[in-house]
Structure 1
């Protein structure tokens, strides 16, 4: 089984919207998180979807799921204080419904532009190697600041920027989360950082640059432009 675990528990202060969290910001009347869910809804290889959401917004999201007939969504669970907690809550739900050898595709609720071919490749590589992390090449020079304040400039050709989804065997990722909880570690920036910390060898695939995370107003306007460009390409056959 292949289960998408979409975490949408943040409030998104950087988007400067006081009316609603960023994942519920709308384009053409449809919330961003619904665009994200639809990506996985329409991929045959994805069997089910679990969403971790801000608890106060769960009734609203349930109505949206029904409105857009997102029938792969098996449950919407409360999010955690941070992304790590939201992901864990989604994984717990997945474990209640599916065998531990299932694959879970962990994805941000505010990454609505992931491509179907990327997600399918993610699944295929994880089946073969145990996990897969979607990345893109670094397009600019990266500078690493050391503890002593000095700077190191790594070779850009060797640097990848981590995106999503990140795909793992359910048993493996649950074990890592439980270790983190037992050790009081709550600040992993993403799941691949956690898995790397606990000694898992990670495997990457290259995704598309347009698979952005909508965090700022500029990201939102870029999202709208990409959607419109995709529609024009479909109409004119570009």
Structure 2
């Protein structure tokens, strides 16, 4: 099986307003519904688990029913960190998944994930067990220790920007999370970090610039413009 865990538990404070960013209406649908629809419409996805804030679960369930996102099997409460939220999703799947089933972990605020990205993640995860969706860095990246002047300038050709989904064999990502908890590592910003720390190779899947994460008000404007253009 191929199961998507979609993370919709963030507060979205950088976007502003009263609603978390993933619940803001964009072109007649909440942002999270655009994201879920990308996985729901992909023939290779068997079902979807959504990790959500407790106080938005009922609202999200209503939207999922209204927009006929039929592959969502459950909405579960998230944790206080991204890592905890993912672990809750993985734990929910423990009696459902086999060791070699593929789990795709995706940010709910990346609404423009393509079918090609999803399909490539599945193919590569089955082959390599761990996959990170990336794009090459098109800008020079500057490292600053004091946050006010240049400390070093890494070679741009060796730098990539991580996106999601990040996809894994279920047994591997579950092991990575359990090892992290035992070592009291509780606030990893993504799941590939945890797998990499086990000594496992993480294969790249090709992302694209449209698969951006909505973080700022400007991102919302860009997303709305793209979705409007696609209509």
Question: TM-score band, normalised by the shorter chain?
Answer: over 0.9
Per the alignment, residue 122 of structure 1 pairs with 121
CA offsets 1:116-157 (integer angstroms, 9 cap, x no match):
01110111111111121110110100123459x972212111
Q: Mark the CA change 1:150 to 1:14 in structure 2 (over 3 Å): closer, same or farther.
A: closer
**Paired residue for 2:38?**
39
Q: Is the 8 A contact 2:27 2:227 kept in 1?
A: no
- Partners in 2 of 1:195 and 1:113 — Cα distance? 26
* Aligned pairs for 1:163-178 within 5 A: 163-178=163-178
Deviation digits for residues 211-238 of structure 1 (CA, Å, limit 9, x no counterpart): 010111011111111112222xxxxxxx
With normalisation by structure 1, the TM-score equals: 0.92
- Structure 2 counterpart SS, 1:152: coil
Task: Please list every run of 5 or more consecutive structure 1 residues that lacks an aligned counterpart in the other structure.
Answer: 232-238
State how 1:202-221 maps to structure 2 within 5 Å: 202-221=202-221
Cα deviation 1:84-108 (Å, max 9, x = unaligned) = 1111111112223222211000000
The correspondence of residues 72-221 of structure 1 with structure 2, limited to 5 A, is 72-145=71-144, 151-221=151-221
Following the alignment from structure 1 to structure 2, what is the Cα–Cα distance between the partners of residues 162 and 72? 26
Question: Is 2:31 the partner of 1:2?
Answer: no
How many angstroms apart in 2 are the aligned matches of 1:86 and 1:27? 25
Map Cα deviations across residues 150-191 of structure 1 (whole Å, 9 max, x no partner): 722121111110001000011110111111112221111111
Q: RMSD of the TM alignment (CA)?
A: 1.4
Equivalent in the alignment of 2:22: 23
Note if contact 2:27-2:224 (Cα within 8 Å) is conserved in structure 1: no
> What is the distance in 1 between the residues matched to 2:142 and 2:186?
26
Q: Give the secondary-structure state (helix, strand or coil) at the position aligned to 2:74.
A: strand
In 1, Cα distance between equivalents of 2:20 and 2:31: 10
User: Following TM superposition, where does structure 1 have runs of at least 4 consecutive aligned residues deviating by more than 4 angstroms?
Assistant: none
Consecutive unaligned residues of structure 2, counting only runs of 5 or more, are: none
Greater shift, 194-203 or 71-80, is seen at 194-203
Q: CA deviation at 1:193?
A: 1.4
Q: Deviations over 1:46-84 (max 9, x none)?
A: 111000000111011111111111111111000110111
C-alpha distance in structure 1 between counterparts of 2:48 and 2:184, whole Å: 28
Mark the CA change 1:29 to 1:230 in structure 2 (over 3 Å): closer, same or farther: closer
